Amino acid sequence: MSEHKRAKRPGIRPYRTLFDKVLTRTDAERAHQQAFAAIRAAGPALSKAPTPGSPVHAMGLTFPNVIGLAAGFDKNAVGIDALGGLGFGHVEIGTVTGEAQPGNPAPRLFRLPADRAVINRMGFNNEGAEAVAARLASRLERRGAVTGGPVLGINIGKTKLVPEDDQAAVEADYAKSAQLLAPYADYLVVNVSSPNTPGLRTLQSVEKLQPLLEHVRSIADQVTKHRVPLLVKIAPDLADSDVTEVADLALAIGLDGIIATNTTIGRDGLDSTTADIAAAGAGGLSGAPLRARSLEVLERLRARVGETMTLIGVGGITTADDARERLEAGADLLQGYTGFIYEGPLYARRVASGADTKGTQR
C-alpha cells in the first residue's frame, strides 16, 4: 500500500459516504460549481461561526489560524468571506490573469478517489484582473469598517496568449494584474508553476524569475500605501538544485515568502487503475500522493532560507497529522484544496484545531 494511504482514517463520516457514493458520479467541475454556490448561499450563517485554532503572525500580518484555502477554488473572488466562515484563516483567490480567458476545453477536472487525488487542466480560467479588481472594490465598500474575516491572498499568473519567451510582454502582463489587484491584497503571489499554461514553468528559471519578481514588486509598491508581502509559488517537479536556486534568489531580492508546492505532472505510485489515470489525461495532480514531495521541497527550502522567511506548505495536507508534520518541517502557514474536496466542509476546522500552532510568529 502506498505511503499516502496513511491519510485515511477508520470510520466513514457522512460526507465521505456522500462523496464516494454520489459526488464521484457527478462531473467534477459541475460538482465544484454547485458546492461553491451552496457555500456562498450559506455565507451569512457561516460568518457567525467562531474561527478555530490560534492566530499566526507572519509577514507582518495576523492570520486567524494556520490553514488557508489554496488558489484555484475561488478564481474570481466571489466567495471569500463565506469560505472564511468555513474556518479558513486565509483565502488565496485566483489564479487571476491580466486578461480574461476561458481556460482549457472541458472536461478538465477529474477525481482519482482511490488516491484521494485530483487532476486538473483548467488553464487559468478567470474573468481577468479588471473584473476581479472591480469585485474586490465592491466587497471593500460593502464591508466598510467591518473587521475580521480571512486574510486575502491574490495569486496572479500569465495570460495564455502572452508568449513566455517575450520577457517584456510577460512582465507587462503580470504588472497589469499587480497594478489592479495589489491595492486589495493582504499578500500577493506570483504563480509561475502551473503545468496547464504552455511555457509557464520556464519562468521558474532564475534568469527569468528575478526580473519578473522585481518588476511585480516595483509595481505593487507604486500602487499601495503600505508594503504588500510578495511570494512566489513553485512546482514540486523542480530538481533539488533548482529549488535551492529559487531559495537563494528569494533571499537575494528580499522576497517575503515561498509557497511550496503547486501540482505535479508526475503519476508515479498511484493506486488508481491505469485506465482511470489515462482517462483523466494531462494536467496537474494534487492531493495525498503529493504529500511526500511537497514535504521534501519544504524541508529543503527551510534549510536554505533559514528561520526568517515565511514558507507556506501546500500539497497533500489531508489530516491534522499531515498539518503537524508540515509545521514541524518548517512551514509557517498551510493551505489545502484537494483535502477540502475530499474531507468536506469541516476540513478547515479539523485541521486548524488539530494542528493548533498556539500563536507562532515569523
Residue 2, in any domain of the structure: no
Residue pair 64/147 in contact (Cβ under 8 Å)? The answer is no
pLDDT at 15 over 90: no
Asked if pLDDT for residue 3 goes beyond 60, the answer is: no
Could you tell me if residue 4 is inside a domain? no
The tens digit of pLDDT for each residue in 275-332 reads 999 999 999 999 999 999 999 999 999 999 999 999 999 999 999 999 999 999 999 9
What average pLDDT score do residues 95-104 get? 98
Strands 187-191 and 230-234 come out as parallel
Would you name the residues annotated as active-site residues? Answer: 194
The answer to whether position 227 is within a domain reads: yes
Q: How many domains does the chain have?
A: 1
8 carries a ligand binding annotation? no
Give the C-alpha separation, 117 to 63, whole Å. Answer: 27
User: What is the tens place of the pLDDT at every residue in 137-186?
Assistant: 999 999 876 778 899 999 999 999 999 999 999 999 999 999 999 999 99
Does 95 show up as a binding residue in the annotation?
Answer: yes
308 labelled as ligand-binding? no
Whether 214 maps to a domain, the answer reads yes
pLDDT at 23 exceeding the cut of 80: no
Residue 208 pLDDT greater than 80, yes or no:
yes
Please state whether the predicted TM-score (pTM) of the whole model is above 0.85: yes
Per cent of the chain over pLDDT 90 is 86
Q: Say if 183 falls within a structural domain.
A: yes
Is 361 within a domain?
Answer: no
User: What is the spatial distance between Cα 269 and Cα 297, in angstroms, rounded to a whole number?
Assistant: 18
DSSP 56: E
What percentage of the chain exceeds 70 in pLDDT? Answer: 92
- Tell me what the mean pLDDT of segment 211-218 comes to: 98
Please choose, from the candidates 354, 361, 362, the residue with its C-alpha nearest in 3D space to the C-alpha of residue 9.
Answer: 354
Residue 63 placed within a domain: yes
The answer to whether the annotation marks 287 as part of a ligand binding site is yes
Provide the pLDDT for residue 332: 98
CA distance 194 to 191: 7
Tell whether 359 is covered by a domain.
no
Of 14-18, 28-32, 120-124, 281-285, the poorest mean pLDDT is in: 14-18
- Determine if the peptide bond prior to 195 is cis (ω within 30°): no
- Does 74 appear as a known binding residue? yes
Res 268 pLDDT > 50: yes
- Residue in the block written with cell 512546482: 235
Question: Any known ligand binding at 125?
Answer: no
Weakest mean pLDDT among 194-203, 229-238, 280-289 = 194-203
What CATH number has the domain bearing residue 173? 3.20.20.70
Span 116-133, average pLDDT: 98
Write out the residue range of the structural domain in which residue 240 sits: 10-354
Q: Residue 307 has what DSSP assignment?
A: S
| Rounded mean pLDDT, 84-92 | 97
Q: For 190-239, give the DSSP string.
A: EE---TTSTTGGGGGSHHHHHHHHHHHHHHHHHH-SSPPPEEEEE-TTS-
